[in-house]
Chain A
Amino acid sequence: MKPSAFHPLARLVHWLMAILILAMLFIGVSMVGDLSPRHPWLVELHKATGLALLALVVLRIILRLVLPHPPLPADLPPLQRFAAGASHLALYGLMLAMPLLGWAMLSAGGYPRPLQLPAIMPHDLQLYAVLRQAHGWAGYLLFVTILAHLGAALFHALVRRDGVLRSMWPGPLRRSD
């Protein structure tokens, strides 16, 4: 029997990561154009939060694989069903890729890593160039995917009114659900 809502732990991790990832995207995109005294502080915050998000996404993938989760509404058109599957795969892939690209680009750039983490790439300027740009573009792609995810969640809640958003809602569920 499939549950009608996500496990409370899955919902907790979802919303915690939602806040952290949105904050990270805004910090990341603003810190590179900032030379005020905020700059070094934002960079440190970005690295530390990135590391926390790497741990969280690993936990998240495990939770997704071991906990039962609610099915999509049975009447969902095939195109929307495909979009839901593809966008979630993209979200998981990008959530995992972003911190790994960050770690890899620091390694390739010859930069120290937080907590003196080992280098996962050789020190190589051209490799750094590729990874640094990939980190940026993957960030934009993640942001766009999140916008689509947000739009779809609101579409389910406000237009289709099919209980999909409620299945991930952070508060307690109503009895009628």
Chain B
Amino acid sequence: MNTPLQGPAKALRLAAIGATVVALGAGFAYAAGWIGTPALTPQRIIDTFEAQAGHHPGYRKNHAKGLCVSGYFESSGQAQALSSARVFSQARVPVIGRFAIGGANPYSPDAGVPTRSLAIQLSTDDGQVWRTGMNNPPVLAVSTAQGFYDLVLASGPSPSTGKPDPAKLQAFFAAHPESAAFRQWAASAKPSDSFANTDYNSINAFRLIDASGKAQAVRWRMVAQTPFAALPAQVEDNLYLQHDLQQRLSQAPLRWTLRLTLAEPGDAIDDPASQWPDSRRSIDAGTLVIDHVDAPEQGACRDLNFDPLILPSGIEASADPILAARSAAYSESFNRRSRESLGAGARP
């Protein structure tokens, strides 16, 4: 054993040890984004939602206003050849879901928000779960998380009027030609008078994996079996869609067909802004039956994060960057509202 060091040699070595420890700590701080300027983060996206729509403790940070529902999914068996996921073979799969309108404000009037969503969790008897969050537009206006963030900024309320600035939006769309398919949809889509007669789209593509491991890229859509009726021009009730849903479900269950659209070689799998041609083959995988709605801010859906990357074996994510960003941002929203639920006055 050597003797302990003293004097300048000791000081030098102590300094070297200190420098080593500080360097490792600095690396950690950099990885955490505490130093330097990190790229776009989930935190910044959620902060922006709150800056625009206000801080609403306890609520989801986007699609804040919604209702929990439940029901079941009846598989048709037709998608079994494409995916080994149990959901496509099990006769009846329990479902927990949530209808919502877009935006981070839980007090928006139902009829004033063009975006509607349906998120569901399907729990199969093999112990696996599938969560999917679907919106009424078939495509997004943007292809990347940065594009999404810029769109949020461009469509935010202007400080002078409190309303979105049309010039800013126009400039955004001019700078983002990938938004063409979305703009075409937005210009032609007629809002319906119910969550029940609205179609909901996966928007992002996923990969179905069959029993032999072969992959088929798909998008899916919940096609309403309830006939379309237009939203009245004048709606007084801020809870119009919620009241409508409660009224319909007090009479009979509501049904949607789960339609899988199969990509062909050359289709943009990883671009949620790109529309696939209408001629693509589709498969009706089964029927979603919703037969129960919970009281506002109540029910099993409330404490679930409908992260679109919670997938059973037999369904995999595509490389769509928006899918990864959604997963990250949903997680941040879930963490924040869970923390807020500890505080007084937080709803729901």
Residues of A within 8 A of B (CB): 25-26, 29-30, 32-40, 43, 109-112, 116, 123-126, 128-130, 132-133, 143, 147, 150-151, 154-155, 158-163
Contact across chains for B303 and A125 when beta carbons are under 8 A apart: yes
The stretch of B11-19, B167-175, B196-204, B248-256 that contacts the partner chain: B11-19
- Name A160's closest neighbour in chain B (CB-CB): B4
In the complex, how many residues of chain B place their beta carbon closer than 8 angstroms to a beta carbon of chain A? 56
Q: Which residues of B contact A111 (CB under 8 A)?
A: 305, 307, 310
- Residues in B247-291 with C-beta less than 8 Å from chain A: none
Contact across chains for A33 and B341 when beta carbons are under 8 A apart: no
User: A86 to B20, alpha carbons, bound, how many Å?
Assistant: 22
- Name A153's closest neighbour in chain B (CB-CB): B17
Q: Which residues of A contact B337 (CB under 8 A)?
A: 125
- Residues in B290-348 with C-beta less than 8 Å from chain A: 302-305, 307, 309-310, 317, 319, 321, 323-325, 327-329, 331-332, 334-335, 337-339, 341-342
Contact of A116 among B27, B31, B127 (CB under 8 A): B127
Contact across chains for B39 and A36 when beta carbons are under 8 A apart: yes
**B207 → A minimal CB distance (Å):** 13
B43 interfacial contact with A, CB 8 Å: yes
Q: Which residues of A contact B307 (CB under 8 A)?
A: 111
Contact across chains for B310 and A40 when beta carbons are under 8 A apart: no
Contact of A147 among B25, B40, B127 (CB under 8 A): B25
Given A109-B334, A126-B338, A161-B4, answer yes or no on A29-B321 (Cβ-Cβ < 8 Å).
no
Contact across chains for A132 and B338 when beta carbons are under 8 A apart: yes
- Name A127's closest neighbour in chain B (CB-CB): B338
Given A30-B32, A150-B21, answer yes or no on A36-B1 (Cβ-Cβ < 8 Å).
no
Main secondary structure of the interface of A (DSSP, over half): helix
- Name A154's closest neighbour in chain B (CB-CB): B17
Q: Which residues of A contact B329 (CB under 8 A)?
A: 35
Contact across chains for A125 and B341 when beta carbons are under 8 A apart: yes
Proximity string of chain B (116-136) to chain A, C-beta cutoff 8 Å, 1 when within and 0 when not: 000000000001110000000
Q: Which residues of B contact A161 (CB under 8 A)?
A: 1-5
Contact of A33 among B21, B41, B309 (CB under 8 A): B41
B145 interfacial contact with A, CB 8 Å: yes
Contact of A132 among B10, B28, B335 (CB under 8 A): B335
**A3 → B minimal CB distance (Å):** 16
Contact across chains for B327 and A40 when beta carbons are under 8 A apart: yes
User: A53 to B3, alpha carbons, bound, how many Å?
Assistant: 38
Contact across chains for B38 and A33 when beta carbons are under 8 A apart: yes
